[in-house]
Amino acid sequence: MTNRVAIPLSERTPAAAAALREEIPHLRPRPLGAASSFGFGDRTGRATPGHARALEATGSRLVPVLAQQSARELERTGRTFTEVLDAATWGAFESGWTGGYGADADHLRTVDEVTAALDAGFTMLTLDPSAHVDETEGDLDALPWTELRDDWRAMRLRHAAVADDATIAAAATTFGSALAHVTELARLADGRDVDIEVSVDETSRPTTPFEHRFLAVELRRLAVPFTSLAPRFAGTWQKALDVSGDADEIRRSIEAHAAIASEHGHKLSVHSGSDKFSAYPFLAEATDSLHVKTSGTSYLEALRVVAAVDEDLFRAVLEVARRRFDVDRASYELSPGAGIPSRTGELAALLDEPGARQALHVTYGAVLSHPELGPALGAALDTHADAYAGALERHLGRHLIGLA
């Protein structure tokens, strides 16, 4: 790598990070458009050097999103969008990364969240209308037709060539209010050079090909300038684990959604994309315009380093995670066997045990915001920064190679 410069931690202020971005163009996040990309979530604020090493070691052509955090993650860790972007700025600077990067404010649900992300300088907004998706048998008359600038007759005619009335009505009642909400949020970015992603991956069932097509057509009609769309694919895509289910069904689902994304001119996005090694070949073969998001897997690799260098600290993390798990699991789709076992053998081996991986993945907020554990974990990673970067180079490198 080049341009390695050591910056004292005491000088890493928000003003200094902003000045650095102003002075050095490649440290400014940018929109990525249709280019295939990879989201590197960083819950600790210390992962970017390892992410840069993974990119360089693999020679990946995927454009990195080095600053990525969801509004939910910020709530749980107590961080801000500005802090996330600043951490990526310093990490890219100190590692000599000159390849540019994106900044994704993930799963934005409200006007305030979108405004905060824009004010911080994020260049990708992932809009999440999950709270407005109606998976019951909804009523067409109850849809916000005024906000949609539409009526049932016109909607029916738009989609009649590819679906019957019942299928169109079902998609309308499921996603009508969500479309109105996304349109409201997207308007906040008018005149800003940002990518917009629309996420409907957190539904209780897979998105059908027609629903994907319906959303694409309606978003274009509503003049929402979206770059990518994240459907829910067939199979089980849970946090921290590989995808499970019928491989042929998963492949066909990916191919169908990739074809619709290509037809309608947007990028296919994959949420809960970390550790989905069996699906990566399907994704790589199906499309050349792809976005894959990872988040918690870099945090789990941080815990792997801690387990190796400070067993007492890792045991304290396990205890906090065990106490908090029943509360935190409510926000995520996890396997029935998820949880921290009451007895533990080799500590590092827990990071390879599916149930423990998921429990540690979702309890990050309780650990990182803990007044003693959070700082102790950060100090351990700072002391063993090279070991952490090496772990990320190996683990995230597997992701990048799988998507090549």
Q: Is 97 helix (H, G, I), strand (E, B) or coil?
A: coil
> Could you give the percent of the chain with pLDDT greater than 70?
98
Is the CB of residue 214 less than 8 Å from the CB of residue 143?
no
Q: Is 107 helix (H, G, I), strand (E, B) or coil?
A: strand
Is the CB of residue 65 less than 8 Å from the CB of residue 103?
yes
Instruction: Enter the DSSP assignment of 363.
Output: T
Domain positions in the chain are 36-295, 297-388
Query: Which element (helix H / strand E) includes 39?
Result: strand 37-40
Is the CB of residue 49 less than 8 Å from the CB of residue 385?
yes
Q: Is 377 helix (H, G, I), strand (E, B) or coil?
A: helix
CA atoms within a 13 Å half-sphere pointing along the CA-CB vector of 5: 10
Confidence of residue 11 (pLDDT cuts 50, 70, 90): confident
Instruction: Enter the DSSP assignment of 130.
Output: G
Structure tokens at 138: 């909804």
Give backbone dihedrals phi and psi of 197, rounded to 5 degrees, phi first: -115, 145
Which stretches within 99-206 are classed as H helix?
A: 111-120, 145-148, 152-159, 165-187
Neighbour-count burial of 342, counting CB atoms closer than 10 A to its CB (0-12 exposed, 13-18 middle, 19+ buried): exposed
Q: Render pLDDT for 60-108 as a digit per residue (tens, 0 to 9).
A: 999 999 999 999 999 999 999 999 999 999 999 999 999 999 999 999 9
Q: Is the pLDDT of residue 8 over 90?
A: no
Q: Output the CA torsion sign for 9, 14, 15, 16.
A: positive
Q: Output the CA torsion sign for 154, 160, 163, 165.
A: positive
Residue 372 annotated to the active site: no
Of the residues 94, 106, 128, 301, which is catalytic?
A: 106
Q: Which residues pair with 127 in a beta bridge?
A: 108, 198
Is the CB of residue 382 less than 8 Å from the CB of residue 46?
yes
* Terminal-to-terminal C-alpha distance of the chain: 22
Q: Which CATH number fits domain 36-295: 3.40.50.800, 2.60.40.2130, 3.90.1300.10, 3.20.20.70?
A: 3.20.20.70
Instruction: Enter the DSSP assignment of 129.
Output: -
Q: Render pLDDT for 378-390 as a digit per residue (tens, 0 to 9).
A: 999 999 999 999 9
CB atoms within 10 A of CB 404: 12
SS3 content of the chain, % helix, strand, coil (to 5): 55, 10, 35
Residue type, 284: A
Structure tokens at 61: 């052509």
- Residue 293: the pLDDT is 98
Of the residues 83, 94, 150, 197, which is catalytic?
A: 197
Residue 197 annotated to the active site: yes
Query: Which element (helix H / strand E) includes 210?
Result: helix 209-221
> Could you give the percent of the chain with pLDDT greater than 90?
95
- Residue 10: the pLDDT is 54
Per-chain mean pLDDT for the chain: 96
With CA atoms as reference, report the closest residue to 100 among 47, 24, 2, 5: 24
Query: Which element (helix H / strand E) includes 319?
Result: helix 311-328
pTM of the full structure: 0.95
With CA atoms as reference, report the closest residue to 273 among 128, 105, 127, 399: 399
Is the CB of residue 300 less than 8 Å from the CB of residue 240?
yes
Q: Left (φ > 0), alpha (ψ -120 to 50) or beta: where does 196 sit?
A: beta
Q: Render pLDDT for 273-318 as a digit per residue (tens, 0 to 9).
A: 999 999 999 999 999 999 999 999 999 999 999 999 999 999 999 9
User: What mean pLDDT do residues 189-202 have?
Assistant: 97
With CA atoms as reference, report the closest residue to 71 among 120, 14, 12, 16: 120
- Calpha distance 352→241 (Å, rounded): 10
Is the CB of residue 54 less than 8 Å from the CB of residue 67?
no
Is the CB of residue 404 less than 8 Å from the CB of residue 58?
yes
